[in-house]
Amino acid sequence: MDAGHDLRALPPYAIVTGDFVRTGGMDRANLALASYLALHGHPLHLIAHRVDDELLRLPGVTFHRVPRLASSNFVSGPLLDRAARRVGSQIAFAGGRMVVNGGNCDFGDINWVHYVHAAYEPAGVHSLARRLKTAWTHRRFLANEARSLKAARIVIANSNRTKRDLIDRVGVPADRIHTVYYGNDPDAFRPPTKQERIELRQRLNWPADRPVVMFIGALGDRRKGFDTLFVAWRKLCQKPSWDADLAVVGRGAELPAWEQRAAEANMALRMRFLGFRGDVPDLLRAADVLVAPTRYEAYGLGVQEALCCGLPALVSADAGVAERYPEDLQSLLLPDCEDASDLVARLIAWREEMGRLRDAAKPLGNQMRSRSWDQMGQEIAEAASAQLAT
């Protein structure tokens, strides 16, 4: 912010979300938007459970903390909504703007959509009680989402795929929706030097002579498609020529079961479960390819970050991020996330052309890396200002 900025000169903003932190696509994006607004002189009100300390130190930032009950975003949702509507009314009275995320608050102003509940019904291998609870919460999410989106004055979608879902599945008018892609931190997500890559693999105890395939995603349900990758990997490991190892980053209720299945299939040495990791940029720089056979992905920040680190990434063709893939990378798009045999064939093809595909992915990675989080924040703020002028 310029030294001469007067915080009273620009309209205030309020943003409501669970967390403003650096992990997770939605949380990271909200953190970036908040930082942009604060650094450009907008008085900023954050209604959330957690806020990154660096953000709190910025001028003009007020944190309205909402307790997270029972460690559950769903249980705490009504508290977050109530606090946000109270603050939002004050902000609106002062001529400011309110940013909600999907159905997390019933306040009709700017709605930034990172996930469309109407586009995907969660599934998993759980007890009957757990499935009934999941179905009930999903219906609640659908109702909240529909009500909030239909009241919004402007909707920001994180991809054109999300925009289509909002039009077709929720009924949001197309002229109210603006697509704004996520930004990137070019210092954190960048290709490694040759020496850095050698040192990273040594530190991680990864073999220098075997490729490493990465999967990143929650293992609490089947949305990220790890079950498809597991079946494909078992088939690959039965081939004497297959020489790659799999590194799995993520945690969730199904993690112990997957570890047991890997051991029973004699794949414990070929499939490493790393749990939650805070060093994902280093892992990506040390790996050789990312695989994301997701059943639903509004965008796919993890895929973008892999590409920014110089990795080719196999991802479902209907993921939001896939719409940014050029023609020469179409072989990396999975037409059917349920088809393990197709994934086997595509991984074998990748292994045979590792060098060419890494080189082919560089232009897209460079393009994504050049787009900063500030550019994203600026586009959202400009879209909001333009909406007022219409």
pLDDT category at 134 given cuts 50, 70, 90 is confident
**pLDDT 10s digits, 77-92:** 999 999 999 999 999 9
Indicate whether 5 pLDDT > 60: no
State which amino acid sits at residue 107: F
Phi and psi at residue 320, to the nearest 5°:
-55, -40
Cα 287 to Cα 201: distance, rounded to the nearest angstrom: 8
Domain borders along the chain are 7-183+372-389, 194-369
The reported pLDDT for the residue numbered 124 is 60
pLDDT category at 126 given cuts 50, 70, 90 is low
Give me the percent of the chain exceeding a pLDDT of 70. Answer: 97
Please tell me whether residue 110 adopts helix, strand or coil conformation: strand
**pLDDT 10s digits, 44-57:** 999 999 999 999 99
The reported pLDDT for the residue numbered 189 is 97
Neighbours of 156 (CB within 10 A): 24
Please tell me whether residue 214 adopts helix, strand or coil conformation: strand
pLDDT category at 129 given cuts 50, 70, 90 is confident
Cα 35 to Cα 30: distance, rounded to the nearest angstrom: 9
Q: Which two tokens stand for residue 379?
A: 């586009």
Higher-confidence residue of 282 and 388: namely: 282
CB 268 within 8 A of CB 262: yes
Whether CATH 3.40.50.2000 fits 194-369: yes
**pLDDT 10s digits, 105-120:** 999 999 999 999 999 9
Average pLDDT of the segment spanning 62-88: 93
Nearest to 235 by CA among 200, 210, 270, 209: 270
Cα 168 to Cα 162: distance, rounded to the nearest angstrom: 10
Cα 152 to Cα 363: distance, rounded to the nearest angstrom: 36
CB 211 within 8 A of CB 245: yes
The reported pLDDT for the residue numbered 311 is 96
Cβ-based neighbours of 260, under 8 Å, separated by 6 or more:
none
Cα 199 to Cα 194: distance, rounded to the nearest angstrom: 9
Phi and psi at residue 333, to the nearest 5°:
-95, 130
pLDDT category at 132 given cuts 50, 70, 90 is confident
Average pLDDT of the segment spanning 267-292: 96
pLDDT category at 71 given cuts 50, 70, 90 is confident
Per the prediction, the chain carries an average pLDDT of 94
pLDDT category at 4 given cuts 50, 70, 90 is very low
Indicate whether 14 pLDDT > 70: yes
Phi and psi at residue 16, to the nearest 5°:
-115, 125
> Partners of 271 in the beta sheet?
246
pLDDT category at 25 given cuts 50, 70, 90 is confident
Does the CA dihedral 333-336-337-343 come out positive or negative?
negative
Please tell me whether residue 126 adopts helix, strand or coil conformation: coil
Whether CATH 3.40.50.300 fits 7-183+372-389: no
Average pLDDT of the segment spanning 302-325: 98
Cα 169 to Cα 219: distance, rounded to the nearest angstrom: 26
The reported pLDDT for the residue numbered 47 is 98
**pLDDT 10s digits, 222-263:** 999 999 999 999 999 999 999 999 999 999 989 999 999 999
pLDDT category at 302 given cuts 50, 70, 90 is very high
- Do 7-183+372-389 and 194-369 fold alike per CATH? yes
Indicate whether 76 pLDDT > 50: yes
| Helix ranges (DSSP H) in the chain | 25-39, 53-56, 73-93, 128-151, 160-165, 194-203, 226-237, 255-264, 280-286, 301-308, 340-352, 354-369, 373-389
Give me the percent of the chain exceeding a pLDDT of 90. Answer: 88
Indicate whether 8 pLDDT > 70: no
- Exposure string for 351-369, b = 16+ CB within 10 A, e = fewer: beeeeebbebbeebbeebb
Query: Model's pTM, two decimal places?
Result: 0.93
Neighbours of 49 (CB within 10 A): 19
Gap between the terminal Cα atoms of the chain = 29
Q: Which two tokens stand for residue 75?
A: 């249980």
The reported pLDDT for the residue numbered 2 is 42
Cα 213 to Cα 265: distance, rounded to the nearest angstrom: 18
